[in-house]
Amino acid sequence: MTIGIIGGGIAGLASAIALAKIGREVDVYEKADAFAEVGAGLQIGPNAVSTLKQLGAFDALEPLMVAPENIRIMDGVTGTLLSTLPLGQQFETRFGQPYRVSHRADLLTALLETAKNCDRVNIHLASTLTRLDIEPDTTFCHFTNAKTASHEMLVGADGFRSVVRRSVLNDGPPIFAGHSLYRTLIPIEKAPDIPRITDVHLWLYPKGHVVHYPVSAGKKLNIVAASEQNWENKGWSVPVEPSEVIKYFPNAADNLQSVLATPQNWLKWAAAGHPHSPVWHKHQTVLIGDAIHPTLPYLAQGAAMAMEDAVCLASAIKSGTGISGYATARQDRTRKIVETSKRLGEIYHMSGLQRLARNFAIGHTSTKSQYNRLDWLYNWTAPEI
């Protein structure tokens, strides 16, 4: 029997490639009728680059990615530049791989093309999993179109509202994290005239923050605004008017105001997750990516973790430690990433005296210290598969 994978997102396609590379036949079941990705950007840190290279998808993606020179950390109220983190040669030498930013659709396309080039990967679109029966040696999958399938091993890569998770952990629906994420893309010609627009900008603001950087070979600017608020909409994402975004940044510095005022179309997402679970599998059904460790996106590591999981799962199966070896290898690192992301949100959103103390601390941290703090995250090399 083949290995089944539920979900053809970043985790699902990456694990299909990784498992095919170790000689396993895989079936990927994706609920969408076609592969299409809502526009948004992703930061691809050195650890993610390492996994992309191991998966054989980096070269196809590289021409579409952007290599920003710096991350510029700004106070969103005064517009003051607090710190600059260089991402060029010095960074690459320190962490062994470069830093890139990418459109999600470009990453997904690169993974899809790589997966399609693997003889052992079969992709089934329009296949929505509704239910699982997990037996010790076989997992039986039931799909909406009355289709069924059985697999000796099943990978749940179906995102933060995972149906597989429900069968493995039964720990209820995801819980709203109290943060909304507004995302948009604009043509680069329409980008506001602010210094070094091709760098990654991080604007810190009371109870919110904004990140922007170019994607799609520099043709578009990706903007994400995070804000602490209640979620009063139906579903987990909804289009909103520009005025709603601007409302949450009333005292923004001029340059930040122009960033927020430029886009005409925003999509608002609820940030939601689950508490850490020490259990990652039931018999031979295992969870990866957002299905097991959904995270606030503030460390820019959700997709990176999903691809790391995929390579580590294949490596554990190849080495004979199997699903439990994979879970043991991944638990501490993914938990630390999720917790650090949450803590970063608290720091980015500080107000009053805390904000001033934070700004002082950021402004007085050397590049060397900044790199040292990122060492545990970026100095990570994907295992051979």
Cβ closest to ligand FAD, residue 319 vs residue 370:
370
Selected binder of ligand FAD within 97, 301, 315, 341 (CB under 6 A): 301
Tokens of 56: 């054989």
Contact range with ligand FAD by CB under 6 A, out of 1-9, 52-60, 254-262, 344-352: 1-9
> What residues numbered 125-154 form the site for ligand FAD, per CB under 6 A?
127-129
345 sits near ligand FAD (criterion: CB under 6 A) = no
174 binds ligand FAD (CB under 6 A): no
Is 300 among the residues that bind ligand FAD (CB under 6 A)? yes
Q: Which of 41, 322, 310 is nearest to 157 (CA)?
A: 310
Cα separation, 121 vs 17, in Å, equals 7
For 341, the 3-state DSSP assignment is: helix
**Quick check: 166 and 160 in contact, CB under 8 A?**
no
- What is the distance between the alpha carbons of residues 65 and 352, in angstroms, rounded to a whole number? 38
End-to-end CA distance of the chain: 21
What are residue 237's DSSP bridge partners? 269
- Indicate whether 297 belongs to the interface with ligand FAD (CB under 6 A): yes
Under the binding rule (CB under 6 A), the answer on residue 292 touching ligand FAD is no
Residue 158 contacts ligand FAD per CB under 6 A: yes
In this structure, the dihedral spanned by the alpha carbons of residues 95, 97, 99 and 100, taken in order and rounded to 10 degrees, is -170
Q: Which residues pair with 26 in a beta bridge?
A: 3, 121
Cα(366)–Cα(314) distance, rounded to whole angstroms?
39
Q: Which is nearer to ligand FAD, 129 or 191 (CB)?
A: 129
Which of 111, 185, 210, 304 is the binder for ligand FAD (CB under 6 A)?
A: 304
The answer to the question of residue 123 lying near ligand FAD (CB under 6 A) is no
Residue pair 289/263 in contact by the 8 Å Cβ criterion: no
Map the footprint of ligand FAD across residues 25-64, applying CB under 6 A.
Answer: 29-32, 42-43, 48
Q: Which of 154, 155, 157, 168 binds ligand FAD (CB under 6 A)?
A: 157
Asked if 224 and 41 touch (Cβ cutoff 8 Å), the reply is: yes
Out of 91, 205, 249, 269, name the contact with ligand FAD by CB under 6 A.
269
Residues lying near ligand FAD in the complex (CB under 6 A) are found at 6-12, 29-32, 42-43, 48, 127-129, 157-159, 163, 181, 183, 224, 269, 289-291, 297, 300-304, 306
